[in-house]
Amino acid sequence: MKKHILILFSILLLAASLIYGQSQNEGYTAIKGAHIIPVVGEDIPVGTILIKDKLIEAVGKDIVIPASARIVDGTGLYAYPGMIDSFCFLSLSEISSIPATIDYRETGRINPQVRSVEALRPDSMHIPITRSNGITAALVVPSGGLIAGQSGLIRLTGWTPGEMVIKSPVAMHVEFPSLGRRGFQREQEPREEASKQVIELKDWLNKARFYQKRKQAAAKNMLLQMPEFDEKLEFLHPVVNGELPLMISVHADKDIRAAIKFVQEEKIKAIFFGMTQGWKVAEEIAKAGIPVVFGSLYDMPPSWEDGYDALYRNPAALQKAGVKIAFSSQSASLAKDLPYHAAKAAAFGLEKREALKAVTINPAEILGVADIMGSLEKGKLANIVLANGDILELRTTISRVFIDGQEIDFSSRYTELLDKYKPRLKQKK
Amino acid sequence: MKKMIFVFSFILILSFSASPLWPGGNLLIKNGTILTVTKGVIPRGDVLIIGGIIKQIGENIQAPPGVQVIDASGKFVLPGIIDSHTHIALSGTNETGDVITAEVDMADVLDAEDLSIFTALSGGVTMVHTMHGSANPIGGRNVTIKLKRARPSEELVVRQAYPTLKFALGENPKQANRIGTTGPPRYPLSRMGVNAIIRRELLRARTYMSQWDRYNELRKSKNPPKTLLPPRRDLRLETLAELLRGNLVARCHTYRADETLEFINLSKEFGFKIACFEHIPEAYKIVPELVREGVGISIFLDNWAYKVEAAEGIAPMAAYCAQNGILVSINSDGAERTRRLFNDAAKAIKYGGLSEEEALKLVTLNPAIQLGVEKIAGSLEVGKHGDVAIFNEHPLSAYTRCEMTIIEGDICFDRSQYLSEREEAAKRQKEPKKG
């Protein structure tokens, strides 16, 4: 009897799991008839994207669609890979003037131990607005001090922080000391002080190397003393081992030169961020092979002598010199504007296709996730945006968004509040 | 005789200085897509500006002798963009030395040398309403200027515009985001106090007015008392008296819907006119009231969540309010956003589906109406000022770029000229120094 109950229970469990699985939208989905822009590979004027579970199963003109597939009509729409924001505070910041809602900045100057993904708030009101505009993944970063901490890449959906994280850590974040003039608004940092900070940064890396060597030596030889546990040095290991890139915020041309020298001397992997005067040293950056993530282009030029359009033409200058570039929103509340930073650069000399790459495949490559996202290709996560036009264009309407094969709902703070107050229009006076 | 010559030359100088120093330019803009904003689109048209005024709009206009011709083939020609709320071209924004500072006037601190004028021009902006800040419940007088670069500041002022007085409600005047900083607290610290202090000052102004009325009445009487003395002049209250007399209109910085309604109540209590509400991210909550009062709004398209009272300011609001009968303009509040107001206007198409023409109005005609200058600016129409922006692509495209900005027929920004000058300068720098 007991055996029978066990069998029955197992069958029930199996059935339940099957039903549950289906309700999770597993199986095939086919987006039919869309103009596909895979970003990697040729555009397909009318084609099909076949999704199986979380992944893209096939992309092409003549794809055989399984009978069981759910069909999404893409006629008249353009299909793009989901965009990736390469530097933002989504899920770490709600209302910028209220410290209680800000979790991307730690006190102190040296914080390699902090991880942005451990402060994620899945219910952030900025996430639904951002993903409704076709952004499906974002690098969420710590900020402040000399070593700010570790960033992580998140998908813009999920009930828990764990469900959101795609990859962590992605980079260790460093604010490079400014040797020269930083900007017309900011105070000038004395040159000596800045040089000291570069030395300090190098010191930390050296200490981390030494600490690691002592640990390894002690592990082999019982007679050697284990070094005292050091939280900061522990988390610098992957950086000095060349496993984890440093994302270095650096702006002025002199500082960029110093940062290139620093990266080469330390033999570490690096990504540059900000780079508002990058165009002045474009060749050197290209030669060093360091990729660049731009901050928000919604800013004034770092110096008037650079020209009113310095930030706008900067991405084109770097891209044409051969630097791998990506854009970022550098925001939480306006992370939705990511495509328009790319378009602004396109208005000032960047080719439109390069602008598109700089919010899709380039960030995927720079952040080390090109095997799973950044383009519409077989085997990648089904992060897909359907729109009635160019997704970098302001007037375009985003029609549907899929993250990991799941269609997301467009309701957001915008729609909720508007729906709440719309009935007032019909109210009798 | 010498005296005569002196007097004569003095009169001569005076008469010269009274003549307009900005005579207005002559220009013919040829073969552009003309976005008139009020009278449709001319796919391939011309705009003729003579003496700073638009003389003719149409096709195949011949250039009168000596008039410079601008080739706008493949480009878009639109009225100069107007920013209804900013703080550029000023050498001060907030008078924080006191809580009520109605006596200060931004026209006194105009800075015609401000580089932000150039940045604004580079975004097609020709006119701005540059304002006192929001630190005080009653700030000061604002001023509407044209961005005539490299001209004396007096020439920038647009005399036709409404004289406006800045009010501010909510977190800024109650110093909500400065709690914990040094210094003693300043009254008011709550929305109750903000309203009360405005009422107090307006009551004071009323008393002040009646003191003067009594004085004037007695002075004009047959036997004025020998001890009659005029009341003490108070420049602060005189400004507020001007508001109560209807010679000044209020521009009120407000965020929450509730505080906005309270300010409408105050305006009724004292009978002054509100020209426009500033920022007002919760306007969509009180559409019926704003329509009933006929008060327009000057807003950010989507900048939000930078403080608690801005956390319900939603991007679809511009289109929603415009579609439901409110006069909406999009402002910058500063030097950076002012140069991309056209991008913000385009977002009203995305969020809420405004037509292209209605979207363009958010940064041209609507702010002109809010500033009281719609007879001279805000659209391309014969008889209006020749304030024009030329863009390489449709101004509502994300890929667009301003190529030229013209004020009263004079070119104030020319990207191609700017680029060639920059190239020249770069060459000069590279040349080895002689000697």
A30 with A165, same domain: the answer is no
Residue type, B221: S
Same domain, B255 and B265: yes
Residue where the block lists tokens 């409408």 = B264
What SS3 state is found at A174? strand
Q: For chain B, how many residues are written?
A: 435
- Gap between the Cα atoms of B353 and B318, Å rounded: 10
Please indicate if any CB of chain A lies within 8 Å of the CB of B291.
no
Q: Is the pLDDT of residue A1 over 80?
A: no
Residues B355 and B406 reside in one and the same domain: no
CA-to-CA distance for B345 and B266, rounded, in angstroms?
32
Among chain B residues, CA nearest to A349 = B399
Number of folded domains that form chain A: 2
- Six-digit token pair at A59? 């992309």
A7 occurs within a structural domain: no
Cβ contacts of A206 within 8 Å, gap of 6 or more: none
Neighbours of B418 (CB within 10 A): 16
Tell me whether residue B3 is in a domain. no
In 10 A of CB A214, how many CB atoms? 15
What local confidence, expressed as pLDDT, does residue B19 receive? 42
Give the separation between CA B177 and CA B199, rounded to whole angstroms: 24
Q: Are residues B342 and B405 in the same domain?
A: no
| Nearest CA-CA distance, residue B11 and chain A, Å | 43
Q: Which of A308, A348, A414 sits opposite B314 (nearest CB)?
A: A414
In a domain, B233, yes or no: yes
Angle between helices B191-220 and B235-245 (to 10 degrees): 90
B404 to chain A, any CB pair closer than 8 A? The answer is no
Check CB contact of A102 with chain B, cutoff 8 Å: no
Q: Please indicate, yes or no, whether residues A54 and A196 belong to a single structural domain of this protein.
A: no
**Could you say which of B118, B304, B398 has the minimum Cβ distance to residue A308?**
B118
Give how far the C-alpha of residue B337 lies from the chain's centroid of Cα atoms, to the nearest Å: 14
Q: Find residue A81's DSSP bridge partners.
A: A384
Whether A228 and A342 share a structural domain? yes
Q: Identify all chain A residues contacting B360, using CB atoms and an 8 Å cutoff.
A: none
Q: Are residues B71 and B181 in the same domain?
A: no
Residue B339, domain member (yes or no): yes
Question: Which residues in chain A have Cβ-Cβ distances shorter than 8 Å to B418?
Answer: 307
Last residue of a domain, one of A338, A355, A373: A373
Query: Please, is A243 exposed, middle or buried when counting C-beta atoms within 10 Å of its C-beta (0-12, 13-18, 19+)?
Result: exposed
Residue A13, in any domain of the structure: no
Judge if A76 and A95 occupy the same domain: no
- The answer to whether the beta carbons of residues A7 and A15 sit under 8 Å apart is no
Which residues lie across from B47 on neighbouring strands?
A: B29, B57
Domain with B62 in it: 21-80+378-415
Q: Flag if A425 and B115 touch (Cβ within 8 Å).
A: no
Beta strand B76-79 pairing with B388-391: antiparallel
- CATH (domain of B340): 3.20.20.140
In a domain, A12, yes or no: no
Is B396 within 8 Å of chain A by CB?
yes
Question: Do the beta carbons of residue A372 and residue A380 sit within 8 Å?
Answer: yes
**In angstroms, what separates the C-alpha of B347 from chain A's closest C-alpha?**
6
In chain A, residues with a C-beta closer than 8 Å to the C-beta of B340 are 298, 344
| List of chain A residues whose C-beta atoms are within 8 Å of the C-beta of residue B422 | 307
The whole-number pLDDT of residue A24 equals 47
Lookup: tokens for A381: 């996560």
Do residues B217 and B176 share a domain? yes
| Residue B269 sits in the same domain as residue B254 | yes
E-strand stretches of B51-142 = 53-58, 68-71, 76-79, 81-86, 125-130, 138-141
Same domain, B69 and B130: no
Check whether residue A105 and residue A65 sit in a common domain.
Answer: no
β-strand partners of A172: A150, A246
Task: Tell me which chain B residue has its CA closest to the CA of residue A427.
Answer: B288
Q: Does A259 lie in the same domain as A389?
A: no
- Pairing verdict, β B81-86 and B125-130: parallel
Task: Dump pLDDT digits (tens) for A240-278.
Answer: 999 999 999 999 999 999 999 999 999 999 999 999 999
**Residue B138 domain flag:** yes
Distance from CA of A339 to the nearest CA of B (A): 9
* Distance between CA atoms of residues B15 and A409, nearest Å: 70
Residues 232-271 of B with CB under 8 A from A: none
The CATH number of whichever domain residue A287 belongs to comes to 3.20.20.140
Q: Do B276 and B400 lie in a common domain?
A: no
* CB-neighbour burial class of residue B229 (10 A; exposed 0-12, middle 13-18, buried 19+): exposed
**Is residue B136 exposed (0-12), middle (13-18) or buried (19+ Cβ within 10 Å)?**
buried
Q: B260 to chain A: which residues are within 8 Å by CB?
A: none
Closest alpha carbon to A284 in A243, A317, A235? A317
How many C-beta atoms surround the C-beta of residue A334 within 10 A?
Answer: 23
pLDDT at A196: 87
Hey, which residues does B344 pair with through a beta bridge? none
- Domain presence at residue B431: no
Strands of A69-190 (E only): list them.
70-73, 78-81, 83-88, 135-140, 147-155, 165-175
Domain membership of residue A15 (yes or no) is no
Token pair, residue A392, equals 């970098």
In this structure, are A41 and A158 located in the same domain? no
Rounded CA-CA distance B344/B331 in Å is 9
Confirm whether B280 is domain-assigned. yes
Do B200 and B145 sit in the same domain of this protein?
yes
* pLDDT value of position B8: 53
φ/ψ (deg, to 5) at B175: 55, 40
CATH classification of the domain holding B39: 2.30.40.10
| Cα of B160 to nearest chain A Cα, Å | 31
Same structural domain, A345 and A400: no
User: In chain A, which residue's Cα lies nearest the Cα of B341?
Assistant: A298
DSSP annotation of A102 reads: B
The beta-carbon neighbor of A299 closest among B122, B336, B351 is B336
pLDDT tens digits for A317-365? 999 999 999 999 999 999 999 999 999 999 999 999 999 999 999 999 9
**What integer pLDDT is reported at residue B196 of this predicted model?**
98
Q: How far A35 CA lies from chain B's nearest CA (Å)?
A: 21
Taking the Cβ of residue A396 and every Cβ of chain B, the question of whether any pair is shorter than 8 Å is answered with yes
Chain A residues whose beta carbon lies within 8 Å of the beta carbon of residue B346? 394-395
- Would you call A145 an interface residue with chain B, using a CB distance cutoff of 8 Å? no
Do A303 and A413 fall into the same domain? no
What is chain B's pLDDT, residue by residue, as a tens digit (435 residues)? 555 555 555 444 444 444 444 567 999 999 999 999 999 999 999 999 999 999 999 999 999 999 999 999 999 999 999 999 999 999 999 999 999 999 999 999 999 999 999 999 999 999 999 999 999 999 999 999 999 987 999 999 999 999 999 999 999 999 988 755 677 889 999 999 999 999 999 999 999 999 999 999 999 999 999 999 999 999 999 999 999 999 999 999 999 999 999 999 999 999 999 999 999 999 999 999 999 999 999 999 999 999 999 999 999 999 999 999 999 999 999 999 999 999 999 999 999 999 999 999 999 999 999 999 999 999 999 999 999 999 999 999 999 999 999 999 999 999 999 999 999 998 998 877 654
Q: Does residue A135 fall inside a structural domain?
A: yes
Q: How far apart are CA B75 and CA B391, in angstroms?
A: 6
Considering the domain architecture, whether residues B130 and B169 belong to the same structural domain is answered as yes
Burial class (CB in 10 A: 0-12, 13-18, 19+), B7: exposed
Q: Which domain holds residue A48?
A: 24-82+375-429
**Distance to chain A for B331, nearest Cα, Å:** 15
Residue A266 included in any domain:
yes
| Sign of the four-CA dihedral B122, B124, B126, B132 | negative
Question: Please, which residues 140-199 of chain B have a Cβ atom closer than 8 Å to chain A?
Answer: 177
Q: Could you tell me if B339 and B198 lie in one domain? A: yes
Q: Is the confidence at residue A399, as pLDDT, over 90?
A: yes
Domain final residue pick, A373, A391, A420? A373
Disruptive mutation site among B344, B399, B416, B417 for chain A (greatest number of A CBs within 10 Å): B399
Same domain (yes/no): A369, A397: no
Residues A294 and A324 in one domain: yes
Task: Give the count of domains, chain B.
Answer: 2
Q: Which of residues 31-90 of B touch A (CB under 8 A)?
A: none
Measured distance CA(A361)–CA(B128) in Å, rounded: 41
| Contact state of A96 with B305 under an 8 Å Cβ cutoff | yes
Question: Is residue A312 within 8 Å of A297, Cβ to Cβ?
Answer: yes
B315 Cβ partners below 8 Å, 6+ apart?
A: A129, A414, B301, B302, B304, B347, B351
Instruction: Confirm if B128 and B111 have CB atoms less than 8 A apart.
Output: no
Q: Which residues pair with B46 in a beta bridge?
A: B58
* Residue B108 belongs to a domain: yes
Neighbours of B429 (CB within 10 A): 7
* Record: contact A347-B316, CB cut-off 8 A: no
C-alpha A260: how far from chain center: 23
A355 belongs to a structural domain: yes
- Those residues whose C-beta lies under 8 Å from the C-beta of residue B304, and which sit 6 or more positions away, are A333, B281, B310, B311, B312, B313, B314, B315
Query: What would the pLDDT profile of A8-64 be if each residue is shown by its tens digit?
Result: 656 555 555 544 444 445 699 999 999 999 999 999 999 999 999 999 999 999 999
Is B425 inside a domain boundary?
no
Cα B195 from Cα A181, distance rounded (Å): 46
Looking at the complex, report in whole angstroms how far the Cα of residue A122 sits from the nearest Cα belonging to chain B: 17
Residues B55 and B160 in one domain: no
| Residue where a domain terminates, one of A337, A355, A373 | A373
Instruction: Give, as one character, the DSSP assignment of residue A359.
Output: T
CA–CA separation, A55 and B83 (whole Å): 48
> Which residues, in sequence order, are CB contacts of B110 under 8 Å at separation 6+?
B89, B90, B91, B130, B143, B145, B153, B156, B157
Does A112 reside within a domain?
Answer: yes
Radius of gyration of chain B (CA): 24
